[in-house]
Amino acid sequence: MIAHADALLKPLTIKGLTIRNRVMSTSHAPGYGKDGKPQERYQLYHEEKAKGGIGLTMFGGSSSVAIDSPATPWAQISVADDSVIPFFQSFSERIHRHGAKLMIQLTHMGRRTRSDTDNWMPTIAPSVLREPASRSVPKEMEQEDIDRVVASFAAAARRARDGGLDGCEISAAHGHLVDQFWSPSSNMRTDAYGGSLDNRMRFGIEVLEAMRTEVGDDFVIGIRMSGDEMLGSGLSQDDLMTIATTYAERGLVDFLNIIGGQARDHIAHAVSLPNMSFPVAPFLYLPSALKREVDVPVFHAQRVTDIASAARAVAEGHVDMVAMTRAHIADPHLVRKLQEGRADDIRQCVGAGYCIDRIYVGGDALCIQNAATGREATMPHEVTPGPSRRKAVVIGGGPAGLEAARVLALRGHEVVLFERQPATGGQITLAAKATWREALTGISRWLDAQVVKLGVDRRLGVEASAEAVLAERPDVVIVATGGRPALGHARGAQEHAVSTADILSGRVEPTGTILLYDEQGQHNAASTAEHLAKRGCLVELATHDRMIGEEIGTTNQPIHLRELYKLGVVMTPNMELIEIYPEGNRLVAALRNTYTDAEEERVVDRVVVDYGTLPNDGIYVDLKDKSRNHGQIDQEALVAGRPQPDNRDGFALYRIGDAVAGRNIHAAIYDALRLCKDL
């Protein structure tokens, strides 16, 4: 039983708009926009949350109100003309039929975007100061620009109202145009819009007044803003308290949506989008302090990942409404499961940041552990039973094998799961041993609990042989045996190197000086370097890439770099490991610069490498010729969402996850879901 759960399920009324409960999803940019519009994929993604019982879902994080705030980066929504209204109308109808409410976030990005996209318009801002994240240099806004943008906000609000949306908020967080005017770090003006805090508030006041004039008093308008920019040159908690209370007291806003931090640069961005290295709800104190000073509802989002924390935040009066945005990416049905007394079935967000990190490299938001999110047109969030019951054997209890076993059991099949280790989890268990990555175990814990609940016959500590598998007389065999560490191609590596897996598993306990060579650019090497340094080793982390952790995303790489700097790890990019050889009781590692071919040597106590994994495919090879399909997946059927061919006697053999090729957790789980949902 979740304490105070009833507090989450009480309705909230804002200006005549009644929201059925206190759980929401904040505006964000999943990268699903098409041609600047929220089309079918975008709508289906939010509809799943509405089906799942959410009270309010907000969309269009950074929806642009003007053409000099381009929408195409990260597949955003443009509200700059009336062509978006029919899409809003179909969107609102889709959400309303399930009893949820729908709002949009409106913004002008100001300098926090790029000029070399869309219409190639120069970025604009209060002052000519380079923006650290987008690296744009803006034009200083003239009065005519200010008047034009104010009018654009008003017109966008009208489009939201005419589209049948239940309200909107403006973004004054994350360094957008409104808070660029607020903050002394970005506003150096000496006219009526600069200098004193009253002057710096003026632009936002004009925006909100124009919006209200355009849409009338009945339409709900709010603001998303920081409660403390946490920047030495930025807005303090006191400054932002003054802004929030002023806007509320003047009747400009109907709710306040409060976050902590400000996405000024890479590390500030990572702080404002806290990952698993942060505690749950790290900035709840900010809306809590503000709620005591205002009479309008206060919302909050930032790493509220579990129902218990959300319920406490509302029940104790810290906020009126709690946002569980990433939590709904992990499980869009979490409210319904709570209502049905099935809180244990909620797939809880672990804070990996995979969803957000993909967006900032031009991808779409995908959940590290829920492969159906964002794929609602083709992938089920709820797997239904199939037409017949079969016998299935799954080999391997990592994320791919556990998801395969879960989905096959939901399809109604009899499932046996072989796992050679005494517990499930696979490589997740290993990755979670590295410093602040422990929360990853939440992925395998949920999957394991589900397969137990579904009656899967788990045979732990049992290594599957071809004879044992065939003795089960299976109709389907899924090989999800994962991968084994690769030691790479440098001369002497097979004899003298150890892997990051050797370190994290405890098989090797190194001391002294360590050269850690990273060929992957992912979390593994950076995490292992932190792990080693915290145990007193002197660590150099070298990589072939241009920078350390080049493949790690925006919310995670800055945290790794911060920790590596704090721990004194030497970081050496643009180097290739070419040879390892012994010298006395130590090792010599030879490195070659990838640009100049100049060679250097390091004398160290241990060389640790990360070259990813090679498939553990022995059991697959043993079973391949005995299977009716020779272990092959019909790729066209898989991609088209059709069942695999099933017109011959014998068992079908399929290989998924790292047992095919070393990739990541999401790929392993997606392999399992899209194959097994039709078996």
Residue 601's region, left for phi above 0, alpha for psi from -120 to 50, else beta, is: beta
Q: What is the pTM of this model?
A: 0.96
Same domain, 152 and 35: yes
Q: Residue 413 CA to chain centroid, in angstroms?
A: 32
Q: Residue 67 CA to chain centroid, in angstroms?
A: 28
Percent of the chain with pLDDT over 90: 90
- 379-417 pLDDT, tens digit per residue, is 999 999 999 999 999 999 999 999 999 999 999 999 999
Confidence of residue 231 (pLDDT cuts 50, 70, 90): confident
Cα distance from N-terminal residue to C-terminal residue, the chain: 35
369 lies in some domain: no
Which H, E and C letters describe 331-349, residue by residue?
Answer: CCCHHHHHHCCCHHHCCCC
Same domain, 464 and 549: no
Same domain, 153 and 250: yes
Residue identified by tokens 């969030």 is 381
Same domain, 419 and 525: no
Instruction: Enter the tokens of residue 42.
Output: 């975008």
423 lies in some domain: yes
Residue identified by tokens 């992938």 is 379
114 lies in some domain: yes
Instruction: Enter the tokens of residue 64.
Output: 């642009």
Q: Which of 593, 611, 629 is the last residue of a domain?
A: 611
Q: Which of 611, 646, 668 is the last residue of a domain?
A: 611
102 lies in some domain: yes
Same domain, 584 and 638: no
Alpha helices in 499-570 (DSSP H): 500-505, 523-534, 557-566
**At 575, which CATH number?**
3.50.50.60
Q: Which of 338, 359, 380 is the last residue of a domain?
A: 359
Residues facing residue 170 across a β-bridge: 106, 223
Same domain, 171 and 114: yes
Q: What pLDDT does 3 receive?
A: 81
CA separation for the pair 244, 227 (Å, rounded):
9
Averaged pLDDT, 428-443: 93
Q: Which residues contact 647 (CB under 8 A, 6 or more apart)?
A: none
Same domain, 328 and 185: yes
567 lies in some domain: yes
Instruction: Enter the tokens of residue 334.
Output: 């979490």
Same domain, 211 and 102: yes
Averaged pLDDT, 197-203: 98
Same domain, 501 and 419: no
Same domain, 497 and 542: yes
Residues of the domain holding 395: 391-484+615-676
- 541-562 pLDDT, tens digit per residue, is 999 999 999 999 989 999 999 9
* pLDDT over threshold 70, residue 528: yes
- Hey, what's the torsion of the CAs at 348, 350, 352, 355, to 10 degrees? 10
Averaged pLDDT, 74-103: 96
Helix or strand or coil: residue 167?
A: strand
Same domain, 326 and 402: no
Confidence of residue 655 (pLDDT cuts 50, 70, 90): very high
Cβ–Cβ < 8 Å for 53, 21: yes
Same domain, 167 and 263: yes
- Cβ burial 548-580 (10 Å sphere, 16+ → b, else e): bbeebbbbbbbbbbebbeebebebbbbbbbebb
* pLDDT over threshold 70, residue 74: no
251 lies in some domain: yes
**At 260, which CATH number?**
3.20.20.70
443 lies in some domain: yes
- 125-134 pLDDT, tens digit per residue, is 999 999 888 8
Query: What are the phi and psi torsion angles at 286 (to 5°)?
Result: -70, -55
CA separation for the pair 303, 597 (Å, rounded):
45
User: How many C-beta atoms lie closer than 10 Å to residue 369's C-beta?
Assistant: 28
CA separation for the pair 383, 385 (Å, rounded):
7
Count of domains forming the chain: 3
* pLDDT over threshold 80, residue 648: no
329 lies in some domain: yes
**At 454, which CATH number?**
3.40.50.720
Confidence of residue 616 (pLDDT cuts 50, 70, 90): very high
Half-sphere exposure of 468 (CA within 13 A, CB side): 14
Helix or strand or coil: residue 575?
A: strand
